[in-house]
Amino acid sequence: MRVAHDGSSTAWTALGEDELFARLEEYRSGDLDTKGGRTWAYVYDPGRPDIDRVAKRALVEFYDENALDPTVFPSLLRIENEVVGLAREHLRGDERVVGNFTTGGTESIMMAVKAARDRARELRPDLDRPTMVLPVTAHAAFHKAAHYFDVEAVSVPVDTSTWKADVPLMADACDDRTILLVGSAVSYAHGVVDPIPELGQLALERELLLHVDGCIGGFVLPYFRRLGREVTDFDFSVPGVTSISMDFHKYAYCPKSASVVLYRDPELRRHQLYAKAAWTGYTVINTTFQSTKSGGALAATWAALNYVGDRGYLEIAERTLAAVDEIIAGLADSPDLDVMGRPESNLIALTSDTVNVFDVVDEMRTHRWYVQPQLGFAGSRENIHLSVGGASLELVPELLADLVAACDAARHRPTPPADDEIVALLHSLDPATLGPEEFDLLLAGAGIGSDGGAPEVPDRTAGINAILNVCPPELAERVLVEFFNRIYVPE
Ligand SMILES: Cc1ncc(COP(=O)(O)O)c(C=O)c1O
């Protein structure tokens, strides 16, 4: 029921099925392509439409089932246990390793942090505010978890030549409030594996938990190892690793939302679970954040994993590595773009001394590519992210040619970097004291103007990124919150 401006209520008009889908199609005309290999972040295309077809069929068939209560939807319990069993084997866990299916990397990570916190609350009831120690390259989801669960995140610089966690520095950052260490396999920004065996050693020495974020690398790294690449051990074969997150909706090419969080043993996983009997309704026992949840993504994951099979994933991984090698070789003599560090997986970061990478990103859009801008932080310069996948290989020559053209165009049409005056101004602002008008001005200054309605992001985003790149992170975070607060307005 809609409420009209005069306060009366109005019913909305039903649309015919054809019109309705035509409208939805029209709405998404401005979206990035999810298939075809031209989108190098956010979506994962194996280059095999048959996987999509099979997974989506399972998604629809199980869409109505409710994983809220596995005792009345036992198929979902069985499917989840099989999916988790497969993940456990993939990550070399023994029979004590347990876990749960979640909606994504963020939820898996949040569950692991919650389990660590609740375990600490039980074992050390006097501990006031626990900390977790993590490299600056760890995914933002850990900070979100820290924020939600009132755990202090202690960020530690990384080695800026390898972009890997600096274990002695992490050891120095631990104190008697520390409950959890974090490492990535691989980190999103630079695609490298942290020294997990050394972190495991530290965890054992200090009696800490160690979570390995394998959200983006966990599924594919074992295949890269089998294909002859050197891959640092990162899974349950490493003493000291107590939990791992691994996404299926990334390089297992399952439909979103699909991930798993695994624990070394049920005693640790117990702290992830939530039960409530003290209310007037049905008894609640949840494995994850959600209570009611569709069985669709779970069934789709089971279907994709079993349809592709180990051999199929190995073949996709082989094509993926071939694409990575071709990109790195193709850029070796580039006068403009440099690969950051030595990528150990299929994620590549490109930086430049000669052109503004944010302009290159915009130019690539005009060639119908999406490559992702990453801001500078903690010694890691602003760069261009490429997530390479199964659909990438055939497109590499075109991508490389268009990168050259984009760099040339960026040279001729450069976005001026924020000048010293603007940088000084941005650093003088205290986000806590700014009001709505100041944020309107800041958003307009960043190129996200509005004519009274919701602000609109322009096609070219280099100007916005150039400003965000020099903002203190706290200010950038507030500006982003204000921006979302203005664009999510009911229509
Ligand atoms: C290393 C890593 N961890 C966690 C996440 C968060 O995953 P999600 O977006 O599924 O919540 C990502 C996402 O790219 C990631 O790359």
Q: Which residues line ligand 1 (CB under 6 A)?
A: 104-106, 109, 139, 141, 184, 188, 213, 215-216, 247, 259
Q: Which atom of ligand 1 is nearest to the CA of 106?
A: 11
Residues 146, 34, single domain; the answer is no
Ligand 1 mean position, distance from CA 405 (Å): 31
Which residues, at least 6 apart from 304, have a Cβ–Cβ distance to it below 8 Å?
51, 54, 55, 58, 248, 252, 253, 254, 255
Q: Answer yes or no: do 79 and 151 share one domain.
A: yes
Tell me: do 7 and 135 sit in the same domain. no
Q: How many angstroms separate the CA atoms of 80 and 427, rounded?
A: 49
pLDDT tens for residues 129-160?
A: 999 999 999 999 999 999 999 999 999 999 99
* Residue in 339, 325, 296, 112 with CA at minimum distance from that of residue 214: 112
Q: Give distance in angstroms: CA of 486 to centre of ligand 1.
A: 25
Instruction: Quote the ligand 1 centre to 214 CA distance (angstroms).
Output: 9
CA 277–ligand 1 middle distance (angstroms) = 33
SS3 249: coil
Whether residue 14 sits in one domain with residue 145? no
Q: Work out how many domains the chain is built from and give that number.
A: 3
Mutate which of 163, 216, 234 for ligand 1 pocket (most atoms within 8 A of beta carbon):
216
pLDDT category of residue 451 using cuts at 50, 70 and 90: confident
In a domain, 360, yes or no: no
Task: Indicate the residue type of 315.
Answer: E
Q: Which atom of ligand 1 is nearest to the CA of 138?
A: 1
The answer to whether residues 213 and 184 belong to one domain is: yes
In the chain, DSSP finds a helix count (H) and a strand count (E) of 16, 15
Taking the CA atoms of residue 466, residue 470, residue 474 and residue 478 in that order, the dihedral angle to the nearest 10 degrees is -30
Please determine, for residue 1, whether its predicted confidence score (pLDDT) is greater than 60: no
Contacts of residue 106, Cβ cutoff 8 Å, sequence gap at least 6: 141, 144
The 3-state secondary structure of 190-244 reads: CCCECCHHHHHHHHHHHCCEEEEECCCCCCCHHHHHHCCCCCCCCCCCCCCCCEE
| Centre of ligand 1 from the C-alpha of residue 216, in Å | 6
For residue 96, the domain's CATH number is 3.40.640.10
Token digits of residue 280: 């007037």
Secondary structure of residue 55 in the 3-state scheme: helix
DSSP string spanning 309-372?
Answer: HHHHHHHHHHHHHHHHHHHHHHHTT-SSEEE-S--SSSEEEEEESSS-HHHHHHHHHHTT-B-E
> Looking at the structure, do residues 19 and 119 belong to the same domain, yes or no?
no
Nearest-atom number in ligand 1 for the CA of 256 is 10
- Atom number, ligand 1, closest to the C-alpha of residue 186: 1
CA of 412 to the centre of ligand 1 (A): 35
The CA distance from 405 to 402, in Å, is: 5
Based on the fold, state whether residues 107 and 226 are members of the same structural domain: yes
Name the token pair of 471.
Answer: 């903002």
Domain contains 471: yes
Please provide residue 46's backbone torsions phi and psi, each rounded to the nearest 5 degrees: -75, -10
What is the model's pLDDT at position 199? 99
Q: What is the mean pLDDT of residues 59-73?
A: 97
Distance CA 15, CA 4 (A): 20
Does 116 fall in a domain? yes
Of 63, 84, 83, which Cα lies nearest the Cα of 73? 63
Q: How far is the CA of 163 from the centre of ligand 1 (A)?
A: 18
Query: Where is the domain boundary, 284, 304, 324?
Result: 304
Domain residue limits at 6: 2-42
Q: State mean pLDDT over 376-389.
A: 97
Strand partners, 373: 384
175-198 residue pLDDT tens: 999 999 999 999 999 999 999 999
Is residue 94 in a domain?
yes
Question: How far apart are the CA of 105 and the centre of ligand 1, in A?
Answer: 5
Last residue of a domain, which of 289, 304, 319? 304
Q: Are residues 84 and 122 in the same domain?
A: yes
In this structure, the residue with its CA closest to atom 5 of ligand 1 is 105
Residue 345 lies in a domain: no
Per-residue pLDDT tens for 323-363?
A: 999 999 999 999 999 999 999 999 999 999 999 999 999 99
- Mean pLDDT of the residues in the chain: 95
Is 262 within the bounds of a domain?
Answer: yes
Question: What is the DSSP secondary-structure string of 103-147?
Answer: SSHHHHHHHHHHHHHHHHHHH-TT--S-EEEEETTS-HHHHHHHH
Higher pLDDT, 452 or 224: 224
Shared-domain flag, residues 68 and 117: yes
pLDDT above 70 as % of the chain: 98
Q: Which atom of ligand 1 is nearest to the CA of 250?
A: 10
Task: State whether 297 and 438 are in the same domain.
Answer: no
Q: What's the pLDDT tens digit per position in 190-230? A: 999 999 999 999 999 999 999 999 999 999 999 999 999 99
Query: Where among 287, 304, 321 does a domain terminate?
Result: 304
Q: pTM above the 0.95 mark?
A: yes
Ligand 1, pocket-test mutation among 40, 187, 215, most atoms within 8 A of CB: 215
CA atoms within 13 A on the CB side of 69: 5
Ligand 1 atom nearest 259 alpha carbon:
10
Cα-to-centroid distance, 346 and ligand 1 (Å): 14
The answer on 15 and 75 residing in a single domain is: no
Selection from 279, 297, 275 nearest residue 287 by Cα = 275
* Residues 256-272: tens digit of each pLDDT: 999 999 999 999 999 99
Same domain membership, residue 201 and residue 165: yes
**120 occurs within a structural domain:** yes
How many angstroms does the Cα of residue 43 sit away from the middle of ligand 1? 12
**Site to substitute for ligand 1 among 109, 188, 221, most atoms within 8 A of C-beta:** 188
- Domain annotation covers residue 298: yes
Task: Tell me: pLDDT of 54 over 60.
Answer: yes
- Tell me which of 103, 106, 212, 219 to substitute to probe ligand 1's pocket, judged by most ligand atoms within 8 Å of the beta carbon: 106
